[in-house]
Amino acid sequence: MTITSQLLCTLFAIGLVGSAAAQSKPQAPSVVVAPATLQDLQKQDEFVGRVVADQSVDLRARVDGVLQEVNFSEGGTVNKGDVLFRIEKRKYSVSVDAAQASLKSAQASALSAKTELDRQQTLFDKGDVPQSVLDTAKATFDETQASVDEAQAKLEIAQIDLDHTEIVSPLDGRIGLSAVDAGNIVGSDSGVLATVTSVDPILVSFFISEPILLRERRNGLISRQGIKLATQITLADGQTYDTEGNVTYVGDIVRQDTDTVELRATFSNPDGLLIPGQLVIVALSGSDDSKILTVPRNAVQFDKQGYFVFSVDDKNTVRRTDIEIGTQTATRTQVNSGLENGDRVVVQGLQKIHEGLVVKPIDSQS
pLDDT digits (tens, 9 = 90+) for 258-298: 889 999 999 999 888 998 999 999 988 754 446 789 999 99
pLDDT at position 6 over 60: no
pLDDT on residue 22: 45
Which sign does the torsion angle of CA 268, 294, 235, 351 carry?
positive
pLDDT at position 109 over 80: yes
Query: What confidence tier does 21 reach under pLDDT thresholds 50, 70, 90?
Result: very low
pLDDT on residue 5: 53
Q: Per-residue pLDDT tens for 225-260?
A: 888 888 889 999 888 898 989 999 998 888 888 889
Mean pLDDT, residues 156-163: 95
pLDDT on residue 1: 52
Domains of the chain: 30-39+292-363 (2.40.420.20), 43-55+200-289 (2.40.30.170), 61-87+167-197 (2.40.50.100), 89-164 (1.10.287)
pLDDT on residue 24: 53
Q: Per-residue pLDDT tens for 64-93?
A: 999 999 999 998 999 999 999 999 999 999
pLDDT at position 16 over 90: no
Mean pLDDT, residues 334-344: 93
Most confidently modeled of 15-24, 31-40, 183-192?
183-192
pLDDT on residue 286: 59
Mean per-residue pLDDT of the chain: 87
Which is more confident, 256 or 101? 101
Query: What confidence tier does 39 reach under pLDDT thresholds 50, 70, 90?
Result: confident
Q: Structure pTM?
A: 0.58
Least confident of 12-26, 49-63, 108-122: 12-26
pLDDT at position 199 over 80: yes
